[in-house]
Chains A and B, each alone.
Chain A
Amino acid sequence: MAKLKDLEDYREEIEHCVKCGACRAHCPVFVADKREGRVARGKIALANSVLEGEVGFEKKVLEDMSQCLLCGSCCAGCPNKVHTEEIVAATRRRIAEQQGLSTFGKGIAAVMGRPKLMNLLAKSGGTLSAILFKKLPEDSGLRLRFPAPYLEADRTLPPITTKPFRERVPEIVPGEEGQPTILFFTGCGINYMYPAIGEAFLRVLKFLGVTVIIPKDQVCCGLPAVSAGATRTIEKLAEQNLAALSRHKVDHIVTACASCNAGLGDIYAGMGDAFTDLSAKTVDIFVFLANHGLPEKLAALPKADKRIKVTYHDPCHLRNRGITKEPRQILKSLPQVEYVEMPDAQTCCGLGGTYSVYHYETSKKIGARKAANIAASGADVVATDCPGCIMQLQDNINHAKGKQHPVHILELLVEALPEEF
């Protein structure tokens, strides 16, 4: 049985916050909206007051708890490494348990003083959401990311594919003997929005001769449900994935989505012993490729005469897991790429699971900083390792009237492969 931690289990973690205020320098939400309730220190104080019964789930508490990207920047900059993103997620779960998930959503809507949101369905966003809803399964995290009534008209979203990635490919793509067998955990972003990334994934692994298994019965990792506080949904999805992934004997479970990587590698790891093996086997595609000699193979290729300037955006869920080197290493070894580093590459793009849907205005402020940093790098292309980030980066760049293209590193990687792959 998958079991997530309760807010009660975080008492000790909460005590580790010494209220120094260092999180103020790192929280993207606080930087956009300077109020103590926005920053980790304030949220921890509130979570503690909730545990002590000093404050109930009043409007302002809901608002502050919803104003978090769960990006973990605070934890990265915290001298005591307090996991505020986990404390906030646990608080959201408690709110959802006591008030119901929809109440939480409604509560946020009321708090933000935008009752008119419900009517937006009828406007331009509506058509899009209607299509979205038809094509997405009930339990896909994308449904939580884009609950129809909350979509804003000026938002850029990728189209939903008519044929999901996992329906396009066989369950087993055999490789060469002596090479490892891996399981590809696609995630919803690749399956429903960016099947091309999935196809690029398969071509790169074919190049290395690796056998790839893509279980048809895998489901959403559950990370957007973590953001929304939907305890039972997360636990149910985790159990389904455990069953689907355990059927196959593989060396690694490989993700090409930062959020899925954190979902399987981190969130599941805290849900009971049954998940230990699954979490331990989870590896990011570029870590896998870097460990299997791809950079050396690429470096042997002649550099292109005309190279494109590419920068890299660190998805929060990889940065938090210490994966920052390998994606850059792969990019730098590509013959057609001239790598440039952008300022503050490690700050959040502003998506934050369900955050950008409920707090689009603040999310846009955070995104504007990101867009400015991308522009400052002088790059034509911003590469990353997460479909969610790609979607948000495109929105950020569009609002800033920029011309850069956000892509997955895999999409650049296949351009460098010999034609037969």
Chain B
Amino acid sequence: MLPDSTIRALEEIVGKDNVFTSMADRICYSYDATQQSFLPAVVVHPGSTDEISRIMKLANRELIPVFPRGAGSGFTGGSLPTRGGIVLCTERMDRIILIDEENLVATVEPGVVTEQFQKEVEKRGLFYPPDPASLKFSTLGGNVAECAGGPRCIKYGVTKDFIIGLEVVTPIGDVITTGGPTMKGVVGYDLTKLLCGSEGTLGIITRIVIKLLPLPEAKKTMLVLFDSIDGAAQAVSAIIRGKIIPATLEFMDGRTLDCVRQATSLEVPEDARAVLIIEVDGDSEFLDKQAARIAEIIKPLGVVETRIATTPEESEALWQIRRSVSASLRKVNPDKYNEDICVPRSKVPDMIRKVDAISERYAIPIVNFGHAGDGNIHVNIMVNKKVAGDTLKAEGAIRDVFKAALELGGTMSGEHGIGIAKAPYIPLEITPAAADYMKAIKNALDPNNILNPGKIFFDEEDSVPE
């Protein structure tokens, strides 16, 4: 518990209505999508950069850890208040400050929900492509902090590719700006890129300058069923080799399709062992040609069936298979570990084979789906935590999956970040010298280890699981 004087000081900064100390409120800000839970001592909802700066100065004076939070929808625990302290929620700062149609740049506060921002710019014929699955509820501040990805990244890039400037409150409470609304800028270190994906450990994002694109005129969705995962993977390479970069190239493996078949009434032919959902976007007259060209390229690769949508409703129907996956998996086993490894796209079939072997070795179902176009596979390890030994098995399988991804030249996390969930596995990917380099930055910027401590790298005081 924090002393009354601290609570009063916080109330003075953000107003009494924006400081929450009741048990009910603390419970409501104790979790995120990892489903782990840590009770904070207090929850504050600041309304301005200045208020956040003053909170950080107070926290440094009194040595209270601060855990920044957007919508709390992260998968790795980036926003969890692992050491109690202050949950600093940026949701009240939710204004779109400027959409500059001449310079194709927007400025927003961190609490803006991603989809709302996309709708606003799209009204003006502009486009913000990053589309994490959580876009209907996650905030842009959280997206930047985690460097969120999504299906469209194959063509357009990830969140950091669209962030050209930030305003940030540093761990000691200073306010700095990085980058700015220009398309070029090389003065000093590129702190914008450093802060994107820093998981709230190096600063609290208070303003975001975003680069926009013109909105593509139309899109076309195709769903292709293959008789093998190899066929689907070869199709991905063949499409790219054919000099077409679709806006999305999503895949689901045979085990995923088994789940969908079991759990839904959606039509998935028995001989389909993999699915690609391919979306192309651009000028409308150009799209039919592209779709036809794709169909031709993939024809010899074991295509069972091709479905092409001609209306938005039909397109939505095609996406139903993909959207039904989450709920379908639950019927296989109630708990899942969703790991988001990324390998070079040509290695996707190798990775799937390795995962299948791991699944057999540990005798637990593992299903794969995700963003085939950029090699970002969501490996879902399905367990029942109530069954003795399942959790241990899952942890072993996770470690093996990470090792397999690294062997193929990949990475442990394409878009979810490290937080606490993957922190134990960091040494598998990052050498001690590189880890020290990163920690030196954190230590220099946050000498009291106030801001989101124990995230990405466990500190000594955090228990390190095997």
Instruction: List residues of chain A with CB under 8 Å of any chain B CB.
Output: 15-16, 18-25, 34-37, 42, 45-46, 49, 54-55, 58-61, 63-64, 79-81
Contacts and interface: CB of A to CB of B under 8 A. Distances in A.
Q: Top 7 A-B pairs ranked by shortest CB distance?
A: A60-B24, A25-B136, A21-B73, A36-B28, A24-B137, A42-B28, A79-B326
Contact of B23 (A23, A60, A81): A60
Size class of the contact patch on chain B: 20 to 34
29 contacts: A16-B330, A18-B33, A20-B73, A21-B73, A21-B138, A22-B136, A24-B71, A24-B137, A25-B137, A35-B28, A36-B28, A36-B29, A37-B28, A42-B28, A45-B28, A45-B30, A45-B31, A46-B27, A54-B23, A54-B27, A55-B23, A55-B24, A58-B22, A58-B24, A59-B22, A60-B24, A61-B24, A64-B24, A64-B28
B340 to A, nearest CB: 15
A71 to B, nearest CB: 17
Contacts of A46: 24, 27-28
Interface in B134-166: 134, 136-138
Interface in B12-68: 22-25, 27-35, 37
Given A19-B32, A60-B22, A60-B23, 19 more contacts: A19-B35, A20-B33, A21-B73, A21-B137, A22-B137, A25-B113, A25-B136, A36-B29, A37-B24, A45-B28, A46-B24, A46-B28, A49-B23, A49-B27, A54-B23, A54-B27, A55-B23, A58-B22, A81-B327
A34 B91 contact: yes
A35 B25 CA distance: 9
A46 B29 CA distance: 11
A353 to B, nearest CB: 22
B153 to A, nearest CB: 20
A400 B63 CA distance: 50
Contacts of A36: 25, 28-29, 72
A42 B20 CA distance: 14
Contacts of B330: 16, 80
Interface of B is mostly: loop
A42 B24 CA distance: 9
B92 interface: yes
B396 interface: no
B23 A80 contact: no
B134 A21 contact: yes
A49 B23 CA distance: 10
Interface string B187-219: 000000000000000000000000000000000
A212 B113 CA distance: 51
B299 to A, nearest CB: 34
B125 interface: no
B71 A21 contact: yes
B115 interface: yes
Contacts of A25: 113, 115, 136-137
Interface in B87-131: 91-92, 94, 113, 115
B366 to A, nearest CB: 18
Contacts of A21: 32-33, 71-73, 134, 137-138
Contacts of B37: 45
Contacts of B92: 34
Contacts of B31: 19, 45
Interface in B71-86: 71-73
Nearest to A64: B24
B88 to A, nearest CB: 14
A76 B38 CA distance: 29
B269 interface: no
Contacts of B334: 15-16
A42 B94 CA distance: 20
Contacts of B35: 18-19
Contacts of B29: 36
